[in-house]
A and B are shown apart, each in its own frame.
Chain A
Amino acid sequence: MTDFEPKIVAFCCNFCAFAAADLAGAMRLQYPPNVRIVRLPCTGKVDALHLLKAFESGADGVFVAGCMEGECHFLEGNLRARKRVAYVKRLIAEVGLEPERVEMFNLSSAMGGRFAEIAEEMTARVKRLGPTVPARRKEAAES
């Protein structure tokens, strides 16, 4: 499926990944336009439901990007997010989707290059996996 352009939702912590995405822009780094960013005060804010609803609403891939472990502004938010991502991997596997469609990443606000890499990596991964549901049904669901 060469013309498949996946929709990827990125739940980003305000203090690291969101700032890193900003930095990637300031550095004029190119990364795939498939990634839509949702800004969070901390990845600890993300709930399994948010991730699942993203898939239900038509996302082909979802990732959560938080601070480096041990450097969360709220101490444990990113560790909690990691657990929730693992939980959602199980939930989507039950539905018949590949667990690799959802992932947790850790980076700092200085890592603009790494953010672009993550966006590339997830886009390539989800392109390889294909759409979550057959395209025809997906359009119907989204409309």
Chain B
Amino acid sequence: MIVADRKPLDEILASIEPYKKIMLMGCGGCVTICFSGGAKAVELLASQIRMARNKAGSDIDIVECTPERQCEFEFIDAFKEQIASVEAVLSIACGVGVQTMNEHLAEGVTIPGLNTKFMGYPVEHGLWQERCAGCGDCVLQWTGGLCPVARCAKRLFNGPCGGSAGGRCEVDKEVECVWQLIHDRLEKLNKLENLEIVRPARDWRTSTNAGQRKVKFEEAML
């Protein structure tokens, strides 16, 4: 899932400062799960904004809504009429949601209320960690299911580096060295020979290095 974190309230207030009537739009997808952009987050943020604006002496009217997913036209289309009645939309979906809104409903302006962080999962209640960097050429089959691209600070393919000590990363002692984890896991799986196979240098064009990427599924195209 995509994990995002709410922007500081001051930054949000500054970005909606000129407006008297806005829509606060959440998303029922990933950001609901990480508590930053679901229906409840919409209610909490709307309440905070109204209180801050009331305190500052410039009231604001907020239309609250949370489509199933903000990253698909079909779901945001349902709110078209309401969107037309507001001056701007404050979106607390991921960056994809914000861009879907701006591109599909080009006549209005949609402002982000979240900082989109990474693709990851909740390792415990209330704590999410990065697990996938979307690099476009998955190597998990060789690494015991642990990703060196997302989890190694140096994105090494032949770790661990000299900075790995006691199973911890030199960049941050709180972070486990993923190459230590990969080694331990492969040893447990009796597949340590995976690490002895010489592989060609990685072609990073599948990642973000070659510009915007796309995926096509022709059978689904109309």
Interface residues, chain A, CB within 8 Å of chain B? 48-49, 52-53, 55-56, 91-92, 94-97, 132-134, 137, 141
Main SS class of interface, B: helix
Mask, B7-32, CB within 8 Å of A = 1, is 01110000000000000000000000
Give chain B residues whose Cβ lies under 8 Å from the Cβ of A94.
8-10, 48, 52
A55, B51: Cβ atoms closer than 8 Å: yes
Give chain A residues whose Cβ lies under 8 Å from the Cβ of B52.
94-96
A137 and B9 in contact, given A49-B47, A52-B48, A95-B52 (Cβ under 8 angstroms): no
Among B8, B43, B54, contact of A133 (Cβ-Cβ < 8 Å):
B54
A–B complex contacts, Cβ < 8 Å, 7 sampled: A52-B48, A95-B48, A96-B55, A97-B55, A132-B51, A133-B51, A133-B55
B9, A95: Cβ atoms closer than 8 Å: yes
| A133 to B54 alpha-carbon distance, docked (Å) | 8
Interface residues, chain B, CB within 8 Å of chain A? 8-10, 40, 43-44, 47-48, 50-52, 54-55, 57, 59
| A66 to B36 alpha-carbon distance, docked (Å) | 28
Q: How far is the CB of B56 from the nearest CB of chain A, in Å?
A: 9
In addition to A49-B44, A95-B51, A95-B52, 20 A-B residue pairs with Cβ atoms within 8 Å of each other are A49-B40, A49-B43, A49-B47, A52-B44, A52-B47, A52-B48, A52-B51, A53-B47, A91-B48, A92-B51, A94-B9, A94-B48, A95-B9, A96-B52, A132-B55, A133-B54, A133-B55, A134-B57, A141-B54, A141-B59
| A136 to B51 alpha-carbon distance, docked (Å) | 15
| A95 to B55 alpha-carbon distance, docked (Å) | 9
Q: How far is the CB of B166 from the nearest CB of chain A, in Å?
A: 32
| A132 to B54 alpha-carbon distance, docked (Å) | 10
B48 closest partner in A (C-beta): A95
| A137 to B55 alpha-carbon distance, docked (Å) | 8
Q: Which 9 A-B pairs have the closest CB atoms?
A: A94-B9, A95-B51, A95-B52, A52-B47, A56-B47, A133-B55, A95-B48, A56-B51, A49-B43
A52 closest partner in B (C-beta): B47
B9, A48: Cβ atoms closer than 8 Å: no
Give chain A residues whose Cβ lies under 8 Å from the Cβ of B55.
95-97, 132-133, 137
A137, B51: Cβ atoms closer than 8 Å: no
Q: How far is the CB of B119 from the nearest CB of chain A, in Å?
A: 26
| A56 to B50 alpha-carbon distance, docked (Å) | 8
| A137 to B8 alpha-carbon distance, docked (Å) | 25
Q: How far is the CB of A143 from the nearest CB of chain B, in Å?
A: 13
Give chain A residues whose Cβ lies under 8 Å from the Cβ of B54.
133, 137, 141
Q: How far is the CB of A86 from the nearest CB of chain B, in Å?
A: 13
